Structure 1
Amino acid sequence: MDKKVIFFEVEGGTDKGPDGYRPDTLPMVDALKERGQDAEVLFFDVTKKQQIFDYVKEHGVAYVSRINPGNLQHEEAYFTMLRELCQAGIIGMPHPDAMISYGSKDALSKLTSTNLVPDDTYAYYTIEAFKTQFPISLASTERVLKQNRGSTGEGIWRVQLMNPLAKGITEVPLDAQIKCTEAKDNHVEYWQLGEFMTFCEPYITGTNGMLIDMRFLPRITEGEIRLFMLRNRPIYVVHKKPADTEDAFSATLFSGAQYRYDQPADWQELVQNFLAQLPQVTNLLGNYDLPLIWTADFMLDTNEAGEDGYILGEMNCSCVGFTSELSLAHEVAEEIIACIHKHQAALMVP
C-alpha cells in the first residue's frame, strides 16, 4: 500500500480561500499526485486527535504542517500529536520542536556565537532579568524589544533615549524619558523608562512569554531582506523597504512598506554567508532537520571595517505562505519526495 503525505490544516482563519483551504495547500497536493505520490489534507480537530493520529500512523509516510499558529486554539495538543507521529516513524515537515526552535524569537539569543546575530542580544524569561539588564543595554545604544507572541510588528518596540546620558553613566535611570516606536504601525509613545518596563512585563509572563533585546540597526530604513527557503535552498529574496517617514522602521505591508522580489543571485554575499552558517544554526537550534518551507529575515549593518554586514532579525517556519507564487508548489513537491527517499534510504542502511 502506498503511503500518503498528509497536509494538516485547521478550519477557519483569515488565511483560507473560498473552498476552506489555504490557497497554497491544494497546489502542493496536486503536484505530489502528478508525481505519483499520494497526498491528502486533514483538518486538525482536538476532539478527533486520537483518530487523526491512528489514521496518519497507518496511512501516512510524512506530514506537512500548514496551520497558522494564530488560528490554532489547542496548540499544545497539536504539537503533542506531531511529536507522537514523529516518534512513530512519520517524517515531520517540520518536527514540532523545530517549529518552536526556529520560530521563537529567542532563536536569536541562541545564535550569538555565529556571525548572524550581535553578541549583545539578550533573551529575558523573567521580569528580574529584564529589569537588571535592559537599563544597561539602553545606556550603550538604541534598542529594539521584541515580544515572543504577536505578529505583524505588534509588541516590537524601538526604544530611544530622549536625552544623552552624562559621561560615565552605564545604566539608564528609571525616570529617564524615552521615545518608543511600535513596528505594528510606526506610532510613537513617550514614557519614563520604569513605567515602560512595567508596561512590557505582560510580554514576559504567561505561556511562552519572553522578550528579546537587541540593538537597533539604523540601516533598517534601507529595507529588510527576507530569504524564502526550501530546506537548504534559497528560492527567492523579498526586499521589504519601510515607508519613507521619519519614525518608520517597520517592514510590514500593513505599515506601508514596499515589497520587491529578487533572485538569490542578487544577494550573493548574504546567501553564501547564511548557507555557510546553516550547519551551525541547525546544531544550535536542536539538530532537527531543516524546515520544509521557512524564511530568514535580515537587516543591513556596517562592520568596524566599514563594510556591509547582514544581521538576522527573525526566522519563521510555522506556516510560511507562497500564495503569490503558486508555481512553487512543484518545487516543494520535488523536495518532499526527495526527503522521503532520503529517509527511506537511511532506514535501509545496516
Structure 2
Amino acid sequence: MPIPGPAHFKVAVVWRGDAKARAEARPETSRFAAVFAALGRHGLAAEPAVWVGGRADVLRAELMGMDAVLVWVNPVTKDTGEDRGALDALLREVAAAGVLVSAHPDVIDRVGTKEVLYQTREMGWGTDTHLYASCAALAAAFPRRLAEGPRVLKRSRGNGGIGVWKVERAASAEEVLVQEASDRRRRTVLLDAFLAERASDFAAGLTLVDQPFQMRHLEGMVRCYVSGTRAAGFGTQLVTALAPPEHGRAPPRLYSGPEDERFQRLRCLLERDWIPEMTNLLGLKPDDLPVIWDADFLLGPKDAGGEDTYVLCEINVSSVFPIPDEAPDVLAATTLRRLADARR
C-alpha cells in the first residue's frame, strides 16, 4: 500500500517538446501517464512542465512553485544535436532555491557520463577501461591497446548510440574497421584518419572512454532500473548495435519487476556492494541518486565457479523511459519519502 504523506506536495514532470506539445500537455495523454498516476496514488499533485528551448523564463516560473521536479530530457537530441545546457543551468537555480530536482545536473555530471566507467573501473563491474582527454593521449595509447583486440570508444556524453564506436584492426596494418552504434554503419578507414576525426570530440569539451569489446554481447544486455539505491525492475534485450549486419535489428526490450528470479544475484551485487561503493567513490550520498536511473550490464567471462560476471556498459540518469510497470510506484514512493524527510 502507498505510504500516506503530507498532502499537496507539488511535483513537476519535465520533458522536452515544442510550443505545441507544451500547450497540449496533459498527464493522462502524455507518455508519462503511468508516472503521473503513480505520483497521484502516493498523494502527490503532479503537473506537466514541457521544456521548450529558449523559454527558460516560462519554465522557471513554473518550477519555482514546486516541491519537486522530475526530469526526463536526453543530454543530446538525436535529430538536431541540441544539448540541455540551458535547462541544466535553470535546474541548478531551482535546486538552489530548495526544490528537489531529480536528476540534479551535478549528479548527472558524476554518474550519467561515460567517465563513470573509468572512475569505477576497479569495482566488481569494471573492466580494462581507459580515459583520453586529448587527441595526443588517444594517439599515443589507443593503437597499442587496439593491437590486443577490438575496442569500444565512447564519448563522455551522448545517448542512443551517438558517439559510440567499435574499432578493430582491418586486413591492412594501417587500417581499422569502424562501426558506429547509432546507425550500425561500418567503414574501413586509416587508423590515423579515424583518430584525427576525434579532434572534434575533444574540441567540444568531451573526453573519450575506451573499453574492450565484450565478446558475449550477442547473449544480451541486462538493464537494472534503480530508484535511489533499490532495484525497481529489469529490462532484457539482445544487443546488435555493434554486431555484424547479418544479425539484424534487436527485438524490443522485455521488462520485469525487481523480484525476477533470473536477476537476484545481480540485484544483490548492485544493492549490497556496487551502489554503496560507487556513491563512496563519487562523493555522493545515497539520496543524491535519482528517483529513477538505470545501469546497463553486458556479460563478461564466467568466473572460476562457472557464474556469469557482469561488465558495466553505461549508466543512464537523464531520461530513463520507458520503464517496467512496477517502477512508477517505486519512484513515486522514493519521491514522497525524500520530500517528507526534507519537511521534518
User: What TM-score does the superposition give when structure 1 sets the normalisation length?
Assistant: 0.81
Residues 14, 69 of structure 2: 8 Å contact kept:
yes
C-alpha separation in 2, matches of 1:248 and 1:273: 34
Which stretch of the first structure deviates more once superposed, 28-37 or 310-319? 28-37
C-alpha separation between the residues in 2 aligned to 1:47 and 1:245? 36
Q: Give the equivalent residue in structure 2 for 1:154.
A: 162
Aligned residue type for 2:191:
L
d(CA) in 1 for partners of 2:293, 2:313: 14
Contact 1:236-1:262 at 8 Å conserved across structures: yes
Match of 1:70, SS?
coil
Secondary structure in 2 aligned to 1:194? helix
Report the CA distance between 1:54 and its aligned residue. Answer: 4.9
Aligned-partner residue type, residue 309 of structure 2: G
Is residue 281 of structure 1 aligned with residue 263 of structure 2?
A: no
> Aligned ranges for residues 129-140 of structure 1 at < 5 Å?
129-140=137-148
Q: What is residue 338 of structure 2 aligned with on the other side?
A: 339
Q: Which runs of 5+ in 1 are unaligned?
A: 165-174, 346-350
Question: After alignment, is 138-147 or 301-310 more displaced?
Answer: 301-310
- For 2:177 and 2:82, the matched residues in 1 are separated by 35
Which secondary structure does the structure 1 equivalent of 2:295 belong to? strand
Instruction: State whether structure 2 residue 88 is matched by structure 1 residue 79.
Output: yes
Q: 2:74 aligns with which of 68, 86, 92?
A: 68
Gaps of 5+ in 2: 1-6
Q: 1:148 to 1:226 in 2, by over 3 A?
A: same
Q: Is contact 1:186–1:249 with CA below 8 Å preserved after alignment?
A: no
Answer whether contact 1:6 1:62 (CA < 8 A) is retained.
Answer: yes
- For 2:236 and 2:208, locate their aligned partners in 1 and report how far apart those are by CA, in whole Å: 26
Whichever residue aligns with residue 299 of structure 1, its letter is L
The answer for the alignment partner of 2:120 in structure 1 is 111
Report Cα offsets for 1:155-189 as digits up to 9, x if no partner: 3222222359xxxxxxxxxx533222222343322
State the shift of 1:257 in Å.
4.2
Distance of 1:242 and 1:248 partners within structure 2: 12
Q: 1:277-320: per-residue Cα shift (whole Å, max 9, x none)? A: 10121222341511111111001111563642100000101011
Q: Deviations over 1:104-134 (max 9, x none)?
A: 111111111211111x211222111111111
Structure 2 counterpart SS, 1:273: helix
Letter in 1 for 2:98: G
1:31 and 1:257 map into 2 onto residues whose CA distance is 28
The equivalent of 2:4 in structure 1 is none
2:32 corresponding residue in structure 1: 25
Give the number of equivalent residue pairs. 326
Deviations 1:62-98 (A, max 9, x none): 1111223335946222212211222222112121111
Give the one of 251, 264, 267 matched to 1:268.
264
Give the residue type in structure 2 aligned to 1:333.
A
The question of whether the paired residues in 1 share the 8 Å contact of 2:184 and 2:242 is answered with: no
Identity %: 25
Shift in alpha-carbon separation, 1:313–1:146, aligned structure 2, 3 A? same
1:189 maps to 2:196 = no
Q: Read off the aligned partner of 1:148 and give its amino acid letter.
A: S
Give the alignment partner of residue 130 of structure 2, picking from 119, 122, 142. Answer: 122
Alpha carbons 2:300, 2:310 under 8 Å: kept: yes
* Residue of structure 2 in register with 1:259 after alignment: 253
State which drifts further: 283-292 or 43-52.
43-52
- Give TM-score, length-normalised by structure 2: 0.82
Aligned in 2, Cα 1:101/1:163: closer, same or farther, shift over 3 Å? same
Structure 2 residue aligned with 1:319: 319
- Counterpart contact for 1:240–1:257, Cα < 8 Å: yes
Read off the aligned partner of 2:341 and give its amino acid letter. K
The residue that corresponds to 1:172 in the other structure is none
- Aligned counterpart, 1:202: 200
Asked if structure 2 preserves the Cα contact closer than 8 Å seen for 1:7 and 1:63, the reply is yes
